[in-house]
Structure 1
Amino acid sequence: MSNHEKPISVAEAQSTLESLAKIEQETNTVLRAPLWLNFIIACSYGMMTFSWASTRHDNLWMLGLIISTIVFLLAIAFYLYNSRLLGVKPKLLPKSKSEFKFHLFAGLFFGLVFALTRVLSTNDIWWASYVGGAINALVLAYSLHHYPSGDFKRNTSRHE
């Protein structure tokens, strides 16, 4: 038993695929945080990485870590609250295997950079804290902008 009474043409199939791609692109645009909020989230996470790598013997960088963590959490809370007000419910947990893999890879990457930055910085490689903070900030800003749905496969925005 078939649901189709006539075969689908190539033009119809291509039109359907283009409309699906457009819907996915519009969904990513709606889920995407504003650039200023993306900047605050990414910079505060980069500052957390830098501050953690720079802490030695209860110095003032621990205060930088605390402040940047508070700013990071407040910015995330503001994004989630603002999204709810706009009628968009951002996903906090992955719903598919590809989303799970993306979240797992991103978490491992950020954790590895965070830990390696601290280890290299405590081994007297002073510039590691700068590089680790910059890497975490830039990668987080890129992933928040280009993959707001948390799914690597569903990225349809090429150069926006």
Structure 2
Amino acid sequence: MSESTPSSAQARDALDAIRHSQQTLLSDYIPSVFIRLAICLSFAAILFGYGMTEHENQWALAMWIGGFGFLIFTALYVYSYRLQGIKIRLLPRLGDSVKLNIGVGVVFVLLVFGSRLLRTGLGFEYAPHVCSFAAGALYFWLLAKYPTGEVHKRDK
């Protein structure tokens, strides 16, 4: 009976091998640049529209179009992973991934509200331009570096 039961070291090695193969698969497959760029431009359009909106003017339409594009292209992004047999989790499972997602969320919130505050409160007219470009570029980099939102062991 002891020969058929794996030891804890063997079980740990098997789990590490499975984790390594999953990480290799995820790092080898990254969706096309077009989909990532479309997601980032849509997100930047939402942020730009929010920063420029005053009393329901035409920039609110940019937010709606950006939001619709963001949903469509994000669905394509997730679907491209599904075609490869990879299921993307909505919420991260590892502690480092949770920290990364919370930190990025805080940065995006600061960019969204900062663009509006800098333009309306301090008179910096190009704040929405700068903040939306920064958010889009950061999001594009994040989709390239962490395509599923998970931090892997080798990234530490």
Specify if TM > 0.5. Answer: yes
Change (3 A) 1:49 1:122: same
What fraction of aligned residue pairs are identical, expressed as a percent?
24
Match of 2:147, SS state, is coil
Partner residue of 2:31?
33
2:74 to 69, 73, 76: 76
In structure 2, how many angstroms separate the alpha carbons of the residues matched to 1:58 and 1:131?
22
The total of aligned residue pairs comes to 142
> Does the CA-based 8 Å contact 1:48-1:68 persist in structure 2?
yes
> Does the CA-based 8 Å contact 1:51-1:65 persist in structure 2?
yes
Change (3 A) 1:114 1:155: farther
Query: Following TM superposition, by how much is the alpha carbon of 1:87 offset from its aligned partner in structure 2, in angstroms?
Result: 1.3
Counterparts of 1:129-144 in structure 2, within 5 Å, are: 129-144=128-143
Change (3 A) 1:99 1:42: same
Query: Following TM superposition, by how much is the alpha carbon of 1:151 offset from its aligned partner in structure 2, in angstroms?
Result: 3.0
Change (3 A) 1:87 1:24: closer
Change (3 A) 1:35 1:155: farther
Bigger drift between 141-150 and 85-94 goes to: 85-94
Gaps (5+ residues) in structure 1? 5-15
Match of 1:140, SS state, is helix
Partner residue of 1:13?
none
In structure 2, how many angstroms separate the alpha carbons of the residues matched to 1:23 and 1:130?
39
Calculate the TM-score normalised by the size of structure 2.
0.80
Partner residue of 2:117?
119
In structure 1, how many angstroms separate the alpha carbons of the residues matched to 2:51 and 2:154?
33
In structure 2, how many angstroms separate the alpha carbons of the residues matched to 1:85 and 1:23?
16
Deviations 1:79-131 (A, max 9, x none): 11232232111121111111111111111111111111111121221010100
Match of 1:71, SS state, is helix
Deviations 1:11-32 (A, max 9, x none): xxxxx99xx4x863442232x2
Deviations 1:23-55 (A, max 9, x none): 63442232x221110000011111111111000
> Does the CA-based 8 Å contact 1:99-1:152 persist in structure 2?
yes
Calculate the TM-score normalised by the size of structure 1.
0.78
| Larger RCO, structure (CA 8 Å, separation 6 or more) | 1
Change (3 A) 1:138 1:154: farther
1:101 to 99, 102, 107: 99
CA RMSD of aligned residues (A): 2.5
Partner residue of 1:62?
60
Deviations 1:48-76 (A, max 9, x none): 11111000122100001100110001111
